[in-house]
Structure 1
Amino acid sequence: MDLTVISIILALTMLVMLAFGVWVSFTLIIVGGIGLVLSENYQVGLLFSTSAWGASTAWSLTALPLFIWMGEVLFRTRLSEDLFKGLSPWLSSVPGRLLHVNILSCGIFAAVSGSSAATAATIGRMTLPELKKQGYSERMAIGTLAGSGTLGLLIPPSIILIVYGVAADVSIARLFIAGALPGLLLVSLFMGFTMIWGMMHKDELPQTTRESASLRVRIKALKQLLPVMGLIGFVLGSIYGGLTTPTEAAAIGVTGALVIAALTGSLNMASFMDSLLGAVKSSCMITFILIGAHFLTLAMGFLGIPKELAAWIGSYDLTATELILYLTVLFVVLGCFLDGISVVVLTVAVVLPIVQAAGIDLLWFGIFIVLVVEMSQITPPVGFNLFVIQGLTGKNILYVARAALPFFLLIALAIVLVTLFPGIVTYLPTTMSQ
């Protein structure tokens, strides 16, 4: 059968199954099996078992459930609430005032969670009711949360960076280091926009704040930030300093989160079991997706699809910039229908040969793909963060999408900046490896 016909059959099968709500992992496995049969390779069971074992036993994957568990511990204890209380006094005099709490809280929580959805849900539960009660613009409060919630994908330790590192065989530690400056860039862009908005829309901000901005109150508030900030500093510092591997740092992070939660009196048997079960569910979901993607990649390899696709795109003689532009559109469109991890595992095997042929650094490409997936998380109809925030607020999904639009454009600006100035991504990994 002609390769083009086979590719169309597989693509349509995948789209139909996803449209009917079949799990992404099962869809990938079934499509992979069909691909093997169409390539006249009938050892489907043997190849699947071998592929599944190879996809699920990589040592670097052990960091994944540990970082997820660390985020779950913080999500289900009082530590996340302390972030809001600790930051509020410091931001009461900044243009935009407490709207910045959404941005900074998401940035800080992202550094210990690694999950976009967990970041948006945790911070949103704390900040949205308080901001509404104090009279802040509801649309701007939702927008800052939607945009900043995506930081969980980029700021280390990022679950999606671990998945990309495993799929592309790129050092996870170097990816974590590379994500630091782009993460700070996004936080700066979000805060800068919020300051400008605050100066232009003073009527949509409360006239007074209940929080005292005295130096004494601010210093006292630092006590609530110190436990979480200390945990972040220790986990990331150990990776950046070369003292631990990401897996060892994840184990330290889980232990630290449990100890801090216990010392603050917010850890009990119920919250411990809930955090453990939450981590198991999320880890199993991601592992099954990885297994399915690995099997589909194997099937595509037998069919020769990646090689033919790379040759087809190569025939257009695209420059690296043109390729990046087309891939940006592709990933955003895919992100409208799939979650971020699924986008990465579905596409990496196909696009990496093309990216390498264009001379693009795979480390830089990993950060680029995460930035684009961040955009897709706040793109309707299936932007995952939009659903999380819709569940928190009860607002129409289009209302949430419109509120998030400025931050979607700011992420697009960040992509332009890292494309024009790739050193934003590569400077720290290069410097620290010397």
Structure 2
Amino acid sequence: MSDPVTGLFLLAVLFVFLAGGLWIALALAGVAVVALTLFSNAPVGLVMATTFWGHSHSWSLTALPLFILMGEILLRSRLSEDMFNGLAPWLGRLPGRLLHVNVLGCAIFAAVSGSSAATAATIGKMSIPELKSRGYPESLILGTLAGSATLGLLIPPSIILIVYGVATEQSIARLFIAGLVPGILLVGLFGGYVAVRAWMNPGLIPKPDMAMSLKEKLWEARGLIPVALLIVGVIGAIYTGIASPTDAAALGVLLSILLAVLSGSFSRRDFLDALLSAARTSCMIAFILLGAAFLAVAMGFTGLPRNLAAWIGEMGLSPTVLLIVLTLFFIVLGLFLDGISVVVLTTSIIMPMVMAVGIDPIWFGIYLVLVVEMSQITPPVGFNLFVIQGLTGIDILRIAKAALPFFFLLLLAVVLITLFPGLVTFLPDAMSG
């Protein structure tokens, strides 16, 4: 059996497992067993045991449950409400007015949660009723929330960047730094779209509230101080090299508990709920990563990634053509799988091809997250769409339609970082140099 046919066969086996309702982690491990049994002479049980043991005590991976716990704590506190009240007075005069609170609120919360779904739930719970009551159009409320919540995947500390870094053995700190400028770029694109829509159709946006004095604005902005302290404490510790991502995550948990308690809205019950929810999510991701690690090792024994990379190299595809093909592939895959699953499913096979054509793995990590962000707002498995549907009860297709312009803005961001790779690589190169 030729290598491309072998690859298609194993892919078909994976989809059969997934279509049968098998957990993603078990499906990945099942494909690994099939690959080792049919296409290698390696002892399946021994390879599985050593892989699971070797990948279950990664120090880099310990940042993951800590950042998840930090997001869960913030989700249950009133800090997001304070953040909305602090931003609103400063944005009321911009084209699009309070819709920018969705964009900037998601960007700020993304910088302390690392999760797209948590960002959508936290900001949406507070902004949707507020914006509806003021007469803002439903499509723009839902679209800005669904699109901007994807920033939780990119703006550090990003959970999916930790997963990518562990899966590909790249520096998580460098990935975090690389995600900063593209994150700001997306905030600019989303805010620009809102402004253009407001300019084109001024009747869409309600009239501004009564003007506030500078003193009143500054007083309302006091609610931003706790969140700013958390961002500076966590992200600043990583960027300055004072702490590793894992150390910074531990600091973030302590600061988030302190701020949530001081806000007066965080009880012992909330803390236990946050712990339980973070444990569930962390175990799910860790289980998927173990299955993916086993598959990656199995692929190594079969020689399939190496041979496929050589085969693609012989085809003479330019990096640009390869990226176009991969973008289409990831968009299709994202229709059926969540972002973390897409990353762990594909990295073991895709990375040799990417390295073969000379693409920087740090740059590719940011590119991959941007493409995966699109899957968060595309049915049938768009996590952000499900979160917003749960908050509003609105049909998921209506939410997807509202989020469609932001899908194309994410695609534009992919084009921009491809044309100007320095947007991704400049900061990590500068800080390591």
Work out whether the TM-score is over 0.5. Answer: yes
5+ long unaligned stretches in structure 1: none
Q: 8 Å contact 1:3–1:303 — kept in the other structure? A: no
Following superposition of structure 1 onto structure 2, how do residues 185-196 of structure 1 map, counting pairs within 5 Å? 185-196=185-196
Shift of 1:4: 5.1
Following superposition of structure 1 onto structure 2, how do residues 216-231 of structure 1 map, counting pairs within 5 Å? 216-231=215-230
2:60 aligned counterpart, secondary structure? helix
Sort the Cα spacing of 1:405 and 1:17 in 2 relative to 1 into closer, same or farther, 3 A. same
Letter in 1 for 2:207: Q
Q: 8 Å contact 1:71–1:113 — kept in the other structure? A: yes
In the alignment, is residue 201 of structure 1 matched against residue 197 of structure 2?
no
Q: 8 Å contact 2:42–2:301 — kept in the other structure? A: no
Following superposition of structure 1 onto structure 2, how do residues 350-365 of structure 1 map, counting pairs within 5 Å? 350-365=349-364
Measured in 1, the distance between the counterparts of 2:368 and 2:419 equals 15
CA deviations on 1:100-123 (whole Å, 9 max, x unpaired) are: 111011000000100111111111
2:150 aligned counterpart, secondary structure? helix
Letter in 1 for 2:110: A
Following superposition of structure 1 onto structure 2, how do residues 110-259 of structure 1 map, counting pairs within 5 Å? 110-209=110-209, 212-259=211-258
1:243 aligned counterpart, secondary structure? coil
Measured in 2, the distance between the counterparts of 1:315 and 1:399 equals 45
Query: How many residues get paired?
Result: 433
CA deviations on 1:121-145 (whole Å, 9 max, x unpaired) are: 1111111111111110000100001
Shift of 1:246: 0.6
CA RMSD of aligned residues (A): 1.5
Partner of 1:413: 412
CA deviations on 1:279-319 (whole Å, 9 max, x unpaired) are: 11110010001000011112222222212221222222011
Partner of 1:331: 330
Partner of 1:321: 320
Could you list the structure 1 runs, at least 4 aligned residues long, displaced by more than 3 angstroms after superposition.
1-9
Measured in 2, the distance between the counterparts of 1:2 and 1:327 equals 21
User: What is the TM-score of this pair, normalised by structure 2?
Assistant: 0.97
Measured in 2, the distance between the counterparts of 1:412 and 1:42 equals 42
Q: 8 Å contact 1:103–1:187 — kept in the other structure? A: yes
CA deviations on 1:71-109 (whole Å, 9 max, x unpaired) are: 111001111221111111111111101111110110000
Q: Percent identity?
A: 59
Partner of 2:106: 106
Q: 8 Å contact 1:310–1:353 — kept in the other structure? A: yes
Sort the Cα spacing of 1:430 and 1:25 in 2 relative to 1 into closer, same or farther, 3 A. same
Measured in 1, the distance between the counterparts of 2:223 and 2:267 equals 20
CA deviations on 1:34-90 (whole Å, 9 max, x unpaired) are: 222213547322221211122221111111111111111100111122111111111
Shift of 1:186: 0.3
Q: 8 Å contact 1:167–1:345 — kept in the other structure? A: yes
Shift of 1:208: 4.3
Measured in 1, the distance between the counterparts of 2:237 and 2:3 equals 49
3-12 or 126-135, which deviates more: 3-12
38-47 or 242-251, which deviates more: 38-47
5+ long unaligned stretches in structure 2: none
Q: 8 Å contact 1:90–1:213 — kept in the other structure? A: no
Measured in 2, the distance between the counterparts of 1:175 and 1:331 equals 20
Q: 8 Å contact 2:299–2:348 — kept in the other structure? A: no
User: What is the TM-score of this pair, normalised by structure 1?
Assistant: 0.97
Partner of 1:395: 394
Partner of 1:367: 366
Q: 8 Å contact 1:235–1:252 — kept in the other structure? A: yes
Following superposition of structure 1 onto structure 2, how do residues 334-345 of structure 1 map, counting pairs within 5 Å? 334-345=333-344
Shift of 1:245: 0.7
117-126 or 48-57, which deviates more: 48-57
CA deviations on 1:219-274 (whole Å, 9 max, x unpaired) are: 01111010011110121111111111111110110000001111121221101001
